[in-house]
Amino acid sequence: MQEAPEGYVESYSGISVTTTPDRFGVNFFKRFDVVLNALDNVDARRHVNRLCLSAETPLIEAGTTGYLGQTMVIMGKQTECYECQPKPTQKVYPICTIRSTPSMPVHCIVWGKELYKLMIGSAPDSMLFEDEEGDKKSTFMSPVVNERLKVEEKPSPEKLLKYTKSALTALFTTEINKQLGMDRYKGAKKIPVAHDIEAMAKGLEAGVLNPPSESEGGEKRVWTNEECCQEIYCIVSEMYTGATSPPDIFSSSVAFDKDSHVAMRFVTAAFNLRASVFKIETNSYYTAKGVAGNIIPAIATTNAIVAGQEVFELIKILKHGKDKVMEVCKFTYCLRAKTRKGFFLQPTSLQRVRRWSRRGTRQGRERRREERIWE
Amino acid sequence: MLTKHKMATPSTDQIYDRQIRLWGAESQTRMMQSHVAFVNVSGLTSEVLKNVVLAGIKCTLISIGPRVVSEADAASNLFLRKGDIGAANVEAASQARVQELNVHTTVEHLVYGDLSSFLSTLPTSGYTLLVSPALGMSTLDSQTISSSCRASGSSLILCDSFGFHACAFLQVGGDEGHTYRKEAGKDKLSDPMTAIYPVIEGADSLGDWEGLKTRFGGVPKEWVAWMIGRMGRGKGEDWKFFAEETLKAKKLPSTYLGSQDDLAALPKSLYSSPCIVPVCAVFGGQLGQEVLKMLTTKGECAWNFLTFNGETQIAREVRVGPDDGKKQ
C-alpha cells in the first residue's frame, strides 16, 4: 500500500532468521547502522539480541500487549541487553496435575489438547499415552487408542457412535470411578463426580450430525455436557469419513493449532466434560481458544505509539552516534492510565550494562564462551 | 438522517478477535455503533483516523473550504502520495485508501462550503465525536465548534502537531458530562463516575497561565506554543511581537518559549511545515487510546488537554479547565 518516498526498501520474506544462520549471521547485522525489532516471540528476540551485540550494532527493541507496551535501546558495552533481565517463560503444568488432579480451567484445556492427540492425532505424542502392560494402565487407553477404527474400512455411523460412546465412558466414567475407588481424591477439597455418559449420550443418533459449535451463537455460549458429547461424536465422524489415511488422521501432523477450527471444537468439548467432573468452571469455545492458543490481544493504537517511539530512538542514534546511546536513548513504557503526575508516556534512563568481564568467575567465563559462539 | 450502523456479528467477531479479547464484545458493539467525523484531515488526524477505522468505527471525512492537496499535505497525511499534489480535495484523495484499511466499516465523505453550514447539521447528524485540527482556523471558529458540539452532545478533539510537539483539547460528552467507569484491577471496573468537560472558550479566556503550574512543574511549553499559535494566526510579521505580548499578558516570562530565534522559528512549524511522522504516530496513537476510552466508557479520559513533547518524549495531561471536572 505504502510507497517509500525517498528511501530504499529491501525485504526478505518466508525465511526464519533463527534457522538460517549462514545468511543472517553476524556479518549480515554488521551491514546496518541500526536494527529495529518488531517481533512477536522471545526466542527470535534473544537471537537478534545476541547477533547485534556481536556485530556491535545498536538494537531498538519493543513489544506490545493490549494497551501496554515498551521501547528500549540495546547497545553492547553500554546498556543492558535483552537477556539481562529474566523473561517470563511459558507456564508448564506438572503432569500429575493434568492427568489426575486438575484444579483450574487451564489444566482441563491442556488435558483436552492431549486427548485430541490421543484420540485423533499421533497417540504416542500425547501426555496421556501409556504403554505399560497390566493393571497399571489407565482404563481409557484400550477404548480410546487400541480400539480405534480403521479408516480404510469406512466405518459405518453406528460403529463411529459406538466407538465414541465407549471412549467417552472410559474417560469420564470408568477411569474416574476407578480413581475414586483407589481413594485418590480422599481429603481433596472438591471430590470429582464421574459423568453418566450412558445417559448423556442417549440423545445421540448414528449419522445425525448437529454440532453445537455450528448452532446460533454456538461459539460464545457454554455447551451442556450432552452437547459436548455430541460435538465429539460429530468430530470423530468428520475426521474418519473425511480422511483417506495418515496424515489426515492418527499422525503427528494432526496437532493442536488454535487456528484449526476442528481442533478447537474438540478441545472445548473435552475441556468442558473434564472440568465439570472436577467441579471446575466450564467455558465457551471463544474463551477456551484464548487460553488454548495463548492469544495476545493487539490493537492499532498501542502499536502506533510504540512504533513511533522506536523511530524517535532511531533519530537520536543517527543524530548523536551509537557511542552516545546510554546518554541519549530512553526506556519508555506506554501506559493505560496516567501516572500521579499526569503522564501517559514517561521515558526513563536505560539500564547500564552489567560487567561480565570479571576474570575467574564461572558466570564470566560462561558468558564470554557464549559470546564467542556468535562471532 | 438515519444511518445504518453495523452490529458485531459472528463474522466480524473473527476479524476483530484480537481487539475484542482486550475490550470485550459489548465495547466492540458500542464502538461499531459510534460515528466519528474528521474535519479537514491533517497529518496528525490522519493517524487518529487510521486507528479509528481499524477498530471498526464508522467514519465520515468532512471537507470545509478549499482543500487542494499541497506538498505539505502529501508529506504529512498518511493517506496521500506525491502524485496527489494538486488534486482538488484532500479528503476525496484519501477516502479510498482509508476504506482499504477496513472493508467492514463505512468511510463516507461530505463537502461543505463553510463551517456554519457544517455546524448546522450537528444536531441531527448523530456524530459521537468530532476530530479537527485547530491551527488552520480562527479561535472564534474553534470556540463555535466547541459550543455547537456541547449543545448537540457530540464529543470533540481539537489537535495539531507542530515540529516535534503536539497538543490536543478534549471535550467529552455534552452538558450532562461524560459518565465512565475506571479500570480497578483485572476485569474489575469502578462504580460509574461523571466528568464535566468545559468548552474551549473557558481556556481561551483564562488570564493567568502561570497559575496553571502544578507541584510537578510549570505549564508545558508545547501547550503555551499551541495556544499562542491558535490566537496568533494571520499575524504575519507581527507574530513574534504578538507572542511576547501574550506571554506577558498571561503572566509568563517573555522568554518562556525560548530565545528570540526560537520564537521567530515557531510560526513556520505551527502553520506551514509538514508534520513529523513519528510525532503524528505517537500522539495519534495516544489520541486513539482516548477515543477508545470515550466510546467504550471504560477507563478515565484525559482532562482536558493532552500534550506531547518530542524532545523529552513525554505525553501528559494538562488540567486547564476551568472547573475542576467533577460533577457537582
In contact, B276 and B78? CB cutoff 8 Å: no
**B91-131, pLDDT tens digit by residue?**
999 999 999 999 999 999 999 999 999 999 999 999 999 99
Mean pLDDT of A183-200: 86
C-alpha dist (Å) from residue B264 to B216, B253, B257, B259, B261:
29, 16, 10, 9, 5
B317 neighbourhood in chain A, CB within 8 Å: 338, 342-344
- Could you tell me which of B156, B31, B40 has the C-alpha nearest to residue A300? B31
**Domain shared by A132 and A281, yes or no:** yes
Q: Whole domain around residue A136: which residue ranges?
A: 95-292
Q: Say whether residue B183 is in contact with chain A using an 8 A CB cutoff.
A: yes
For the cut 70, the answer to whether the pLDDT of residue A17 exceeds it is: no
In contact, A170 and A128? CB cutoff 8 Å: no
For the cut 90, the answer to whether the pLDDT of residue B21 exceeds it is: no
pLDDT at B22: 84
- Could you tell me which of B48, B42, B46 has the C-alpha nearest to residue B67? B42
Q: Look at residue B220 and give its three-state secondary structure.
A: coil
pLDDT at A1: 47
Instruction: Let me know if residue A5 belongs to a domain.
Output: no
Residue % of chain B over a pLDDT of 70: 95
Own/partner long-range contacts of B186-195 (Cβ < 8 Å, ≥24 apart): B189/B298, B193/B300, B194/B326, B194/B327, B195/B300, B195/B301, B195/B303, B195/B325, B195/B326, B195/B327
A96 is an active site residue: yes
Q: Say whether residue A342 is in contact with chain B using an 8 A CB cutoff.
A: yes
For the cut 70, the answer to whether the pLDDT of residue B3 exceeds it is: no
Residue after which a domain boundary falls, among A248, A271, A292: A292
pLDDT at A248: 81
Question: Measured between alpha carbons, how far is A160 from A209 in angstroms, rounded to an integer?
Answer: 12
pLDDT at A189: 77
Q: How many helices (H) and strands (E) does chain A have?
A: 14, 5
Question: Measured between alpha carbons, how far is B285 from B264 in angstroms, rounded to an integer?
Answer: 30
Average pLDDT, chain B: 91
**Domain shared by A142 and A211, yes or no:** yes
Mean pLDDT of A174-202: 88
pLDDT at A314: 97
The values of phi and psi at residue A133, to 5°, are: -95, 165
pLDDT at B4: 44
**Domain shared by A120 and A261, yes or no:** yes
pTM: 0.83
The values of phi and psi at residue A215, to 5°, are: -80, 170
The CATH number linked to A210 is 1.10.10.520
Domain borders along chain B are: 25-325
In contact, A292 and A255? CB cutoff 8 Å: no
For B9, name the nearest residue in chain A, comparing CA atoms only: A217
pLDDT at A151: 86
In contact, B193 and B179? CB cutoff 8 Å: yes
Shortest distance between the Cα of B19 and any Cα of chain A, in A, equals: 6
List CB contacts of A191: < 8 A, sequence separation 6 or more. A180, A185
List CB contacts of A25: < 8 A, sequence separation 6 or more. A51
- Among A65-79, A292-306, B59-73, the range scoring the smallest mean pLDDT is A292-306
pLDDT at A371: 55
In contact, B298 and B183? CB cutoff 8 Å: yes
Which residue type does A9 have? V
Mean pLDDT of B56-83: 94
pLDDT at B139: 95
C-alpha dist (Å) from residue B89 to A276, B56, B69, B134, B141:
62, 25, 6, 19, 21
For the cut 70, the answer to whether the pLDDT of residue A3 exceeds it is: no
pLDDT at B16: 86
Residue A126 grid cell: 500425547
Q: How confident is the model at residue B173 (pLDDT cuts 50, 70, 90)?
A: very high
B114: DSSP letter:
S
Instruction: Let me know if residue A225 belongs to a domain.
Output: yes
**Domain shared by A144 and A265, yes or no:** yes
CB contact under 8 A, A342 and B299: no
pLDDT at B2: 34
For the cut 50, the answer to whether the pLDDT of residue A257 exceeds it is: yes
Question: Measured between alpha carbons, how far is A308 from A314 in angstroms, rounded to an integer?
Answer: 10
Average pLDDT, chain A: 87
**Domain shared by A186 and A254, yes or no:** yes
For the cut 90, the answer to whether the pLDDT of residue B156 exceeds it is: yes
Q: Say whether residue A335 is in contact with chain B using an 8 A CB cutoff.
A: no
B300 neighbourhood in chain A, CB within 8 Å: 337-338
Residue after which a domain boundary falls, among A292, A309, A329: A292
For the cut 70, the answer to whether the pLDDT of residue A40 exceeds it is: yes
The CATH number linked to A350 is 3.40.50.720
Instruction: Let me know if residue A142 belongs to a domain.
Output: yes
**Domain shared by A305 and A262, yes or no:** no
For the cut 80, the answer to whether the pLDDT of residue A310 exceeds it is: yes
Which of A301-330 are b and which e, b meaning 16 or more Cβ less than 10 Å from the residue's Cβ? Answer: bbbbbbbbbbbbbbebbeeeebeebbeebb
Q: Count of domains in chain A?
A: 2
Backbone torsion region of residue A345, taken as left when φ is above 0, otherwise alpha when ψ lies between -120 and 50, otherwise beta? beta
Q: Say whether residue A5 is in contact with chain B using an 8 A CB cutoff.
A: yes
Angle between helices A105-119 and A285-292 (to 10 degrees): 90
pLDDT at A333: 92
Can you give the C-alpha Rg of chain A in angstroms? 27
C-alpha dist (Å) from residue B288 to A249, B46, B277, B283:
46, 11, 16, 8
Instruction: Let me know if residue A11 belongs to a domain.
Output: no
Q: Look at residue B184 and give its three-state secondary structure.
A: coil
By Cβ distance, the residue of B22, B310, B313 closest to A297 is B22
pLDDT at A86: 81
- Among A85-99, A231-245, B291-305, the range scoring the smallest mean pLDDT is A85-99
For the cut 90, the answer to whether the pLDDT of residue A307 exceeds it is: yes
> Which runs of consecutive H residues, i.e. helices, occur in chain A?
26-30, 42-55, 95-99, 105-119, 141, 157-169, 175-181, 197-200, 225-242, 261-277, 285-292, 300-320, 325-328, 362-373
Residue % of chain A over a pLDDT of 70: 90
**Domain shared by A245 and A329, yes or no:** no
For the cut 60, the answer to whether the pLDDT of residue A373 exceeds it is: no
Burial of A89 (0-12, 13-18, 19+ CB in 10 A): exposed
CB contact under 8 A, A342 and B318: yes
Q: Say whether residue A330 is in contact with chain B using an 8 A CB cutoff.
A: yes
pLDDT at B25: 80
pLDDT at B9: 61
Statement: B25-325 belongs to CATH 3.40.1390.10? no
C-alpha dist (Å) from residue B71 to A79, B43, B85, B163, B266:
41, 12, 6, 16, 20
**Domain shared by A160 and A265, yes or no:** yes
Residue after which a domain boundary falls, among A236, A268, A292: A292
Residue B204 grid cell: 481561551
- Could you tell me which of A212, A224, A225 has the C-alpha nearest to residue A265? A212
For the cut 90, the answer to whether the pLDDT of residue B209 exceeds it is: yes
Question: Measured between alpha carbons, how far is A288 from A268 in angstroms, rounded to an integer?
Answer: 6
pLDDT at A2: 54
**Domain shared by A101 and A74, yes or no:** no
Shortest distance between the Cα of B20 and any Cα of chain A, in A, equals: 8
For the cut 90, the answer to whether the pLDDT of residue A79 exceeds it is: yes
Shortest distance between the Cα of A220 and any Cα of chain B, in A, equals: 9
- Among A272-281, A346-355, B228-237, the range scoring the smallest mean pLDDT is A346-355
**B4-13, pLDDT tens digit by residue?**
455 556 567 7
CB contact under 8 A, A298 and B50: no
- Residue B25's H or E segment, with its range, is helix B17-32
pLDDT at B144: 97
**B24-38, pLDDT tens digit by residue?**
888 888 998 999 999
CB contact under 8 A, B286 and A312: no
**Domain shared by A32 and A155, yes or no:** no
Angle between helices A285-292 and A261-277 (to 10 degrees): 100
pLDDT at A161: 94
